């Protein structure tokens, strides 16, 4: 009876399992998004905040087909020198809900979490600052659908945690008379074309 084969076979099996695990993790990481892949981010080219103005952004989950019922959002205010104005606003938005984000100076008498407890805030210096907004998904793989089988067992619904399927609008607001000008958002659900081969999702920076 050859008992030497069992340890050898066990060793080979363990090596194979380790290699397969490393390969799988590598494939998953290769498809994780970053800022060089603009298909899954939304941008706005301009925001500003100073002693007399602030920026307001509204994000709406419109409960469209293929949208996950909850989508994680990270909104960053990047300054002209490419540094962050403050800590990014990160939140989860549910179907049918509009979340409000304010980019505002510290110590604002009205635009603050006490007066607007449901708002999300990016609070920074009172000095004049400006830059662009980058909205990223919290999900590392928003292109991967969550699959839900229907009651018949033969058909399925597919849902994506994709922030480009959300609707964005906003403006620069001046304190003195609460007027201002509208912001432009690139890559959200209002864009018309896609840059990748998923027919279910039609947004992303083009």
Neighbouring CB atoms inside 10 A of 127's CB total 9
Q: Do 85 and 156 fall into the same domain? A: yes
Residue 55, pLDDT score: 98
| pLDDT reading at 24 higher than 80 | no
Domain count, the chain: 2
Res. 194: pLDDT tops 60 = no
Tell me whether residue 202 is in a domain. Answer: no
* Pair 57, 127 in one domain: yes
Question: Is residue 56 domain-shared with residue 98, that is, in the same domain?
Answer: yes
On whether both 96 and 163 belong to a single domain, the answer is yes
Report the pLDDT averaged over residues 14-30. 47
Q: What is the pTM of this model?
A: 0.75
107 within 8 A of 126, measured Cβ to Cβ: yes
pLDDT one-digit tens code per residue, 133-184:
999 999 988 888 888 777 666 667 889 999 999 999 999 999 988 889 999 9
My answer on whether 7 and 47 are in the same domain is no
pLDDT of residue 17 exceeding 50:
no
* Residues 113 and 150 occupy one common structural domain: yes
* 17 lies in some domain: yes
- Are residue 63 and residue 88 in the same domain, yes or no? yes
**Per-residue model confidence (pLDDT) at position 99:** 98
The answer to whether residues 42 and 18 belong to one domain is no
**pLDDT of 128:** 96
Query: Does 155 lie in the same domain as 99?
Result: yes
pLDDT at 143: 86
The pLDDT > 90 percentage for the chain reads 58
Scan for tokens 């999702």, then name that residue. 201
- Measured distance CA(108)–CA(93) in Å, rounded: 25
Q: What span, in angstroms and rounded, lies between the C-alpha atoms of 29 and 197?
A: 19
pLDDT at 131 over 80: yes
**Same domain as 60, residue 21:** no
Six token digits for residue 196: 């990748």
- Looking at the structure, do residues 114 and 13 belong to the same domain, yes or no? no
Domain that holds residue 19: 1-30
In Å, how far from its chain's centre is CA 206? 16
Least confident of 107-111, 149-153, 177-181, 189-193: 189-193
Q: How confident is the model at residue 34 (pLDDT cuts 50, 70, 90)?
A: low
């Amino acid at each position: 009876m050859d008992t030497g084969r069992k340890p050898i076979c066990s060793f080979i099996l363990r090596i194979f399992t380790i290699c397969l695990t490393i390969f799988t993790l590598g494939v998953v990481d290769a498809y994780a998004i970053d800022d060089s892949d603009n298909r899954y981010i939304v941008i706005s080219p301009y925001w500003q905040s100073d002693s007399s103005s602030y920026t307001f952004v509204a994000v709406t989950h419109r409960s469209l087909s293929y949208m996950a019922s909850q989508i994680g959002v990270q909104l960053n205010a990047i300054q002209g020198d490419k540094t962050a104005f403050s800590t990014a606003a990160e939140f989860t938005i549910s179907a049918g809900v509009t979340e409000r984000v304010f980019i505002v100076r510290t110590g604002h008498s009205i635009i603050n979490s006490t007066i607007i407890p449901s708002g999300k805030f990016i609070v920074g210096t009172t000095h004049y600052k400006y830059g662009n907004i980058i909205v990223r998904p919290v999900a590392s793989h928003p292109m991967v659908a969550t699959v839900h089988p229907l009651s018949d067992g033969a058909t399925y619904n597919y849902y994506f945690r994709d922030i480009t399927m959300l609707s964005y609008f906003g403006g620069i607001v001046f304190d003195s008379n609460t007027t201002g000008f509208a912001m432009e958002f690139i890559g959200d659900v209002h864009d018309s074309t896609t840059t990748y081969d998923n027919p279910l999702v039609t947004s992303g920076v083009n």
